[in-house]
């Protein structure tokens, strides 16, 4: 069965780990300060010098990056499909009462057409083997000329490039399921890596034009993080993000896209 078919069937089951009482997404970020700061760095770089009226953090979990958006927008909405994550957000965002929290999936954003200036869509695409519906929603709610930062889990990252080179394999244009065999069931939430070239074509089909690209978390490695202090990693990261972007080097690619009209 294809990844897409699996996803269509699994959408009818309650399989979301983010609502699992035994799972705490806050705990996931323990020991991942480099990854978090690398993403913050990328967002700040893409939004530098800009300010927006209405911004929405779609699939933003407990609001990890929603707080950052308040530096760039007058009004911020955290849109999240997991009630548990919103419950955590009540505490995490207790000092940011102006951030509006709303229970809604990325595929059905309950906002009017052409109503927001900025969309943040980070660490969501890896749960979407076929993101076309969600991209259409982003384009629908964006005002003409509005911007979106869309992060993509990158199938063509450097380590995979080496593996494919050794095996003389071509990269698939389709998303690749990275779940372990025992978790590839209809009851498990999808985890996929995307081919950036395919995603760019999907952006275009949704009416979104790529303006800038950054390669993010380029030094993501448990061994590297043990050896090199975080400050040095982030110093290198700052230089590498734009330089390595054309090669889609890192495990995470940040796209800044604009709604055409």
pLDDT of residue 112: 97
- Judge whether 242 and 125 are in contact, CB under 8 Å: no
What's the pLDDT at 13? 36
What pLDDT was estimated at residue 163?
A: 83
Structure confidence at residue 4 (pLDDT): 35
Which CATH fold would you assign to the domain 3-259? Rossmann fold (3.40.50)
Taking the model in full, what pTM does it have?
Answer: 0.91
**What residue spans define the domains of the chain?**
3-259
Is residue 69 within 8 Å of 118, Cβ to Cβ?
yes
User: How do residues 58-91 score in pLDDT, each as one tens digit?
Assistant: 999 999 999 999 999 999 999 999 999 999 999 9
For the residues of 9-75, what is the DSSP string, one character each?
HHTTS---GGG-TT--HHHHTTT-HHHHHHHHHHHHHHHTT--EEEEEEET-TTTTTHHHHTTTEEE
Low-confidence ranges of the chain (pLDDT < 50): 1-15
């Amino acid at each position: 069965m294809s990844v897409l078919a699996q996803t269509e069937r699994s959408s009818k089951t309650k399989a979301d780990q983010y609502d699992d009482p035994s799972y705490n997404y806050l705990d996931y970020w323990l020991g991942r300060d480099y990854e978090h700061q690398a993403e913050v760095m990328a967002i700040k770089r893409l939004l530098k010098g800009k300010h927006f009226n209405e911004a929405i953090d779609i699939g933003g979990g407990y609001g990890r990056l929603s707080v950052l958006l308040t530096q760039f927008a007058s009004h911020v909405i955290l849109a999240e499909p997991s009630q548990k994550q919103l419950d955590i957000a009540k505490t995490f965002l207790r000092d940011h009462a102006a951030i509006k929290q709303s229970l809604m999936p990325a595929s059905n954003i309950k906002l009017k057409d052409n109503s927001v200036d900025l969309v943040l869509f980070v660490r969501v695409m890896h749960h979407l083997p076929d993101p076309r519906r969600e991209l259409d929603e982003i384009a629908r709610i964006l005002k003409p000329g509005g911007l979106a930062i869309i992060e993509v889990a990158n199938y063509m990252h450097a380590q995979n490039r080496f593996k494919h080179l050794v095996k003389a394999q071509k990269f698939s244009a389709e998303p690749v399921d990275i779940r372990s065999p025992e978790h590839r069931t209809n009851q498990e939430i999808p985890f996929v890596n995307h081919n950036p070239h395919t995603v760019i074509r999907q952006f275009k089909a949704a009416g979104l034009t790529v303006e800038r690209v950054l390669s993010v978390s380029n030094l993501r490695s448990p061994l590297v993080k043990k050896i090199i202090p975080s400050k040095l990693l982030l110093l290198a990261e700052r230089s590498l993000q734009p330089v390595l972007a054309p090669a889609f080097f890192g495990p995470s690619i940040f796209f800044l896209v604009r709604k055409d009209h």
